[in-house]
Chain A
């Protein structure tokens, strides 16, 4: 099991461009979470998804940010019209179904830099 995969690991965008961050959960995991870490801060929850469903998006900014976890393929976190304040590390995590549902396994993160 390769673990949670995220790509790209580093992404540079200019202000106004779009950023797409991808996350492939661990095999057998049906829950995906996205977190954002700003410099000198802890990880902040953004969104929790299951296949084809957004379960909790209480941490997502209301504008420009969206997330999906399609039936096939990775989960995507999309940031439209990026601004400098979006520069951060974005972490994806996944967890299995069943009794260990809230034991989250993290990916290596994508570091987004907005110029």
Chain B
């Protein structure tokens, strides 16, 4: 079955500390993977996608096919990073996304 798992519902870190938001997926092919972010009172927006291999707002994510993971990382958290983060998978040849349940990141002052 195709599934995305985000094991942490809530992650609290102090400002300046490293952040890692976990995402594991279950899919037999080569998926496309995305991280979306939803700031308070705003719409869901794309943070990054694995094929572009870019860093957005200091966040990076590496696809690990062996561990079927796509964890989101940032070396130094900032208060404005507080938001809801969703990992999503798009199976090859389809347009739909399969979302994880999301992780709420709280960055404490």
Contact = CB atoms under 8 A, between A and B. Distances in A.
B7 to A, nearest CB: 13
Contacts of A107: 43
B97 A45 contact: yes
Interface residues of B, number: 20
B4 interface: yes
Interface residues of A, number: 27
Interface stretch (B14-22, B54-62, B66-74, B98-106): B98-106
A103 B95 contact: no
Contacts, number: 52
B44 interface: yes
A56 B43 CA distance: 24
Nearest to A44: B99
Given A91-B44, A103-B46, A48 B95 contact: yes
29 contacts: A4-B43, A31-B95, A33-B95, A33-B96, A35-B97, A40-B101, A41-B101, A42-B6, A42-B86, A42-B99, A42-B100, A42-B102, A43-B99, A45-B96, A48-B96, A55-B95, A56-B94, A58-B96, A59-B96, A101-B95, A102-B32, A102-B95, A103-B46, A105-B46, A106-B43, A106-B44, A106-B45, A108-B43, A109-B43
Interface of B: 4, 6, 32, 36, 43-46, 49, 86, 90, 94-102
